[in-house]
Each structure stands twice: as C-alpha cells, then as structure tokens.
A and B are shown apart, each in its own frame.
Chain A
Amino acid sequence: MDLITPDFGLFFWQTIVFLVLIFVMAKFAWKPILGGINNREKSINDALASAEEARKEMQNLKADNEELLKEARAEKDAILKDARELKEKIIADAGEEAQAKADKIVKQANESIEREKKAAMAELKNQVATLSIEIAEKVVRKELSEEKKQHQLIDKMLDDVTLN
C-alpha cells in the first residue's frame, strides 16, 4: 500500500525543493543561459545578414564594374571606328587629290603636247609651202623656157579648168 499512497513528508519536501529550484534556476541559470544563447543567435543572424549584405554589395560593385568596363569598351570601339573612318577618309581624300593633280598634270601635258604638235604642224606647213613654191618656181622656169611647152601647159591648164 506504501507504493501507491503518496507520503506527505516526501510530497512536502518535493514541492518546497522543486519550487525553490525553479526560482533559483530561473534567476541564476536559465536566464543567463537563455539570454546568452539568444544573444549569440542574434549576433550570428546579424553576422549572416551583414555577410549577405556585403555579398550583395560586392555583387552590385561587380555589376557596376562590369557596366563601366562595358562602357569603356564601347567607347574604345567607337574611338577606334572613328579613327578607322578618319584614316580611310584621309586616304580616300589623298587619293582623290593625287588623282586630280595627276589628271591636271596629264591634261596640262596633253595640252602642251597638242600645242607643240600644232606649232610643229604649222612649221611643217610653212616649210612645205616654201619648198613647194621653190620647186614650182624651178619647174615653171624650166617649162617656160620653151615656147611650145608654154602653150602646152596653158592648154592643159585650161582643159583642167573646163573639165572642172
């Protein structure tokens, strides 16, 4: 019967001891322990959050860098393209100018050649005319030395004229 009838003395002690134990432990053990655990968890969470933030910031920075790099690259490309265009233009301009100059020179040369040619031709004509007159003089002198021959010539010339 002892087994299942609570003994008052033991009940009394258990209640008192347990009540005191709860209060003592709550004040001197559980409060600092739970507080310490809480603080640690909070600081770990904070650390994790700040690490996450730093990571994000890092990512942002990286993205910024990339953007900057991209811009720089684009600028470089643009500059290079401009330069290339300029070069091509310069080359093209220079070519054109040279061509024009060359054309001009050629033209001038041609003109002078033409002129020379004309002068030469004129000279030649003069020479030929002089020569022809001289030859004609000589021939006429010879022909006209004889009377018969003079008549013959006049006739022939008249024939020619009438034929025309």
Chain B
Amino acid sequence: MELLHVGLAALGAGLAVLGAGVGVGKIGGSAMDAIARQPEASGKIQTAMIIAAALVEGVALFGVVAALLGVLTT
C-alpha cells in the first residue's frame, strides 16, 4: 500500500515535470524564434523568457513538492 502511495506520488511529480518541460520548451523555442527575427532585442526577450520559464517552472515545482509531501507523510 505504501509502495503504491510512493509510486503515485512519483507519477504525479513526473506528470508535473512533463507539463513544465513542454511549457518551458515552448517558451524557449518561441524566444529563439523571436531572437532570430529581432537579434537587437535579444536582451529584453531573454529577460521575458526567463521570467515566463520561471513562472511555469514554479507551477511544476508546486506539483513536485505536493508529491514529495505525499511521499513523506505516508
């Protein structure tokens, strides 16, 4: 039963990371496109990219921490 808990928590963490991976990937890809189109604005694009990626990553980390909470409280 405990193994199932841990397994589900790990799965949840994995799913959260999967979503964040797709999100951050898209952000990075779009930023690359934008920089290729407007190399002179690369500084601003990078800052915006990092902020957006950090926000997405934050949500994923919420998921991971929730999963960790699940593991540690069983």
Do any beta carbons of A and B sit within 8 angstroms of each other in the complex? yes
Instruction: Assess whether A163 is interfacial by the CB under 8 Å rule.
Output: no
Contacts of B72 on A, CB cut-off 8 Å?
1, 3-4
Total inter-chain residue pairs, C-beta < 8 Å = 8
Closest beta carbon of chain A to B16's beta carbon, Å? 15
Which residues on A sit within 8 Å (CB–CB) of B69?
4
Counting CB contacts under 8 A, is B8 at the interface? no
Contact residues in A for B68 (Cβ distance below 8 Å): 3-4
Contacts of B65 in A (CB 8 A): 4
Kindly state the separation between the CA atoms of A4 and B73 in the bound complex, as whole angstroms.
11
Task: Tell me, rounded to whole Å, the shortest Cβ–Cβ distance linking A105 to chain B.
Answer: 94
**Size band of the interface chain B makes with A:** under 10
Interface string of B29-45 (1 = CB under 8 A from A): 00000000000000000
Measured between C-beta atoms, what is the minimum distance from B34 to chain A in Å? 31
* Complex CA–CA separation, A72 to B65 (angstroms): 87
For B46-74 the 0/1 string (1 means CB < 8 A from A) is: 00000000000000000001001100110
Q: Quick one: closest A residue to B65, CB to CB?
A: A4
Cα of A164 to Cα of B8 in the assembled complex, Å: 179
Q: How far is the CA of A41 from the CA of B68 in the complex (A)?
A: 50
Q: In whole angstroms, what is the CA distance A3 to B73 when docked?
A: 11
Smallest Cβ-Cβ distance to A2: which chain B residue: B72
The answer for the CA separation of A4 and B65 in the assembled complex, in Å, is: 8
Bound together, the chains give a CA A4 to CA B69 distance in angstroms of: 7
Q: Annotate A1-37 by CB proximity to B: 1 below 8 A, 0 otherwise.
A: 1011000000000000000000000000000000000
A6 CB to nearest B CB, Å:
13
Given A3-B68, A3-B72, A4-B72, 5 other A-B residues pairs in contact with their CB atoms under 8 A: A1-B72, A1-B73, A4-B65, A4-B68, A4-B69
B-to-A contact residues, CB < 8 Å: 65, 68-69, 72-73
**Top 8 A-B residue pairs of the complex, sorted by shortest distance between their CB atoms:** A1-B72, A4-B69, A4-B68, A4-B65, A3-B72, A1-B73, A4-B72, A3-B68
